[in-house]
Amino acid sequence: MISGEKLTKVFKGTIIHSIHIHQVELLQNHYIGVSDSGVILFLSDDDKTVQEHLDSHQFQRSDIVDLGRKFIIPGYIDTHAHAPQYHNAGTGTDLPLLKWLEKYTFPVESKFRDLEFAEHVYSKVVDRMLRNGTTTCCYYATIHLDASKLLADIVSRRGQRGFIGKVCMDRHSPDHYIETTDESISNTKEFIRVILEANNPLVQPIITPRFAPSCTNTLMTALGDLAKQHNKVLIQSHLSENLDEIQWVKSLYPDIPTYTHVYHHFGLLNERTIMAHAIHLSEDELKLLKQTQSSISHCPVSNFTLTSGNMDIRKVIQHDIKLALGTDISGGFSPSILQVMRDSIKCSNSCSFVDSAHKALSYEEAFYLATVGGSKVVNMEHKLGNLLPGKEFDAQIIDPFAPNSPFDVFAGDSLKDIFQKYIFLGDDRNISQLYVKGTKINFN
């Protein structure tokens, strides 16, 4: 038992979570107990053990919540999303990356100098993410210090867990959306200071060079130094998403062997680094990511939409690189990690069309990546990812029988069938309740 914790919630029923990549546990008739500070105190189907927990906390049996036909799963972890781009989600899907950035993305991001506009869009995106079961999100904001602080504030107020990045870009960007090197460095320092001082354990800063082409060497060096100085702060960027982008990086750094080595050169690859996309990597680059313990955020919805390419997920798994999923709003049009899971399976299926040795990703593996995989990528596997005792209760209560559920359950369906139907067909209508660190989220 974890001492000093007061038991405040006990649910009884079906709990579904991952322990290993190949194994989803479907636990029926289990009890899960959560403390006042949001820590899971027990997960058991053993009556005697459960009774001991209840007795030691003077918890009344009548206060146990029976889940009935609902089930509990962990909250989803979105390891790559651009909060300001939510404004454009579902539009501007006709161009590849570099043209898309210029025509749609930089113009909308530049509007976040207006705090009223920022408040409106940021409130919507955080609510939408929560509605879709995302309890933890790695957000890119924009270059604007005040609007980035506002995003952190909104994430904090809504009770979501978030890593918030003030975006850094001091070159190759339009006049209306660029910062000087000094502004980028000093505002990043200030942003980190303010967020750390706010002392909300759920909301953390993340160092965010947009991508190598948009940061000068001086800025990259300074961000590498900052990452060294703040040795708990995560780092996020983009890597090897699009062939023109890779060529561009090659032309900027002819003496550095690969795109991945560029980040390494500036001290930006370590166990706290999350690289989005990483589709077109060579063997040397995969090895470098593994060697530096950096991780990959796989964003297949975006990769399909911006016609960037297919990541070979088996290769990444075989290299034992930390791996999770990202919506990449709005390169990806959907805020739902369920949609990303489905597209990660489709992406892997399509790899198997051209490579018969490629074993397609299963839905169990996709679910693992959305939960446990995410927890490893944000270096919080000791606290998040599944519902084992000692972890924090970030969880969704899923109702497969919700009156407006987008799928049907038939008499012969097993629990496994129902879970699989939810993964392939479910959506926010199936979320009955959402918890972050034991606190129930009120949907707006």
Q: How far is the CB of 11 from Zn ion (least distance, A)?
A: 36
Rounded-to-integer distance, Cα 281 and Cα 316, Å: 10
Q: How far is the CB of 103 from ligand XAN (least distance, A)?
A: 12
148 or 371: CB nearest ligand XAN: 148
DSSP-derived 3-state class of residue 251: helix
- The DSSP-derived string for 195-245 is HHHHT-TTEEEEEEE--GGGS-HHHHHHHHHHHHHSTT-EEEEEES--HHH
Site string for ligand XAN, 237-276 (x = CB under 6 A): -x--x-----------------------------------
The residue whose Cβ lies closest to ligand XAN is 331
DSSP 177: S
328 or 394: CB nearest ligand XAN: 328
Judged by CB under 5 A, the chain residues 227 through 286 that form the site for Zn ion are 276
156 or 242: CB nearest Zn ion: 242
The closest of 345, 367, 359 to 416, measured between CA atoms, is 367
**Is residue 331 near ligand XAN by the rule CB under 6 A?**
yes
Rounded-to-integer distance, Cα 219 and Cα 266, Å: 9
The item of ligand XAN, Zn ion, none sharing an interface with residue 169, based on CB under 5 to 8 Å by kind, is none
Q: Quick one: which of 297, 302, 386, 420 contacts ligand XAN (CB under 6 A)?
A: 302
**Is residue 343 near ligand XAN by the rule CB under 6 A?**
no
The closest of 276, 332, 272 to 302, measured between CA atoms, is 332
The item of Zn ion, ligand XAN, none sharing an interface with residue 266, based on CB under 5 to 8 Å by kind, is none
User: Which spans in 113-169 are helix H?
Assistant: 115-131, 145-158
Q: How far is the CB of 126 from ligand XAN (least distance, A)?
A: 18
Which residue stretch of 31-39, 97-105, 182-190, 401-409 sits at the interface with ligand XAN (rule: CB under 6 A)? 97-105
Which residue is listed with tokens 């919630």?
9
174 or 406: CB nearest Zn ion: 174
Judged by CB under 6 A, the chain residues 225 through 244 that form the site for ligand XAN are 238, 241
H or E element at residue 51? helix 47-56
List CB contacts of 169: < 8 A, sequence separation 6 or more: 143, 177, 178, 179, 184, 209, 210, 214, 215
97 or 398: CB nearest Zn ion: 97
Q: How far is the CB of 82 from Zn ion (least distance, A)?
A: 5
Q: How far is the CB of 297 from Zn ion (least distance, A)?
A: 8
329 or 397: CB nearest Zn ion: 329
Rounded-to-integer distance, Cα 233 and Cα 230, Å: 6
- C-alpha distances (whole Å) from 316 to each of 230, 276, 283 are 28, 13, 10
| CA atoms within a 13 Å half-sphere pointing along the CA-CB vector of 108 | 20
Which residue stretch of 88-96, 158-166, 328-336, 350-358 sits at the interface with Zn ion (rule: CB under 5 A)? 328-336
Q: How far is the CB of 232 from ligand XAN (least distance, A)?
A: 25
CB 14 within 8 A of CB 400: no
**Is residue 210 near ligand XAN by the rule CB under 6 A?**
yes
**Is residue 328 near Zn ion by the rule CB under 5 A?**
yes
The item of ligand XAN, Zn ion, none sharing an interface with residue 97, based on CB under 5 to 8 Å by kind, is ligand XAN
Q: How far is the CB of 308 from ligand XAN (least distance, A)?
A: 8
Determine how β-strand 234-239 pairs with β-strand 273-277. parallel
**Is residue 179 near Zn ion by the rule CB under 5 A?**
no
Judged by CB under 6 A, the chain residues 105 through 134 that form the site for ligand XAN are 105
Rounded-to-integer distance, Cα 198 and Cα 134, Å: 22
Q: How far is the CB of 278 from ligand XAN (least distance, A)?
A: 12
Site string for Zn ion, 277-316 (x = CB under 5 A): ----------------------------------------
The item of Zn ion, ligand XAN, none sharing an interface with residue 334, based on CB under 5 to 8 Å by kind, is none
* Other residues' Cβ atoms within 10 Å of the Cβ of residue 197: 7
CB 25 within 8 A of CB 372: no
72 or 83: CB nearest ligand XAN: 83
Q: How far is the CB of 180 from Zn ion (least distance, A)?
A: 23
The item of ligand XAN, Zn ion, none sharing an interface with residue 54, based on CB under 5 to 8 Å by kind, is none
Q: How far is the CB of 206 from ligand XAN (least distance, A)?
A: 15
The first and second tokens of residue 207, run together, are 């160092």
- The DSSP-derived string for 258-324 is -HHHHHHHTT--STTEEEEE--S--HHHHHHHHHTT-EEEE-HHHHHHTT-----HHHHHHTT-EEE
- Contact residues toward ligand XAN (CB under 6 A) are 82, 97, 101, 105, 210-211, 238, 241, 302, 328, 331
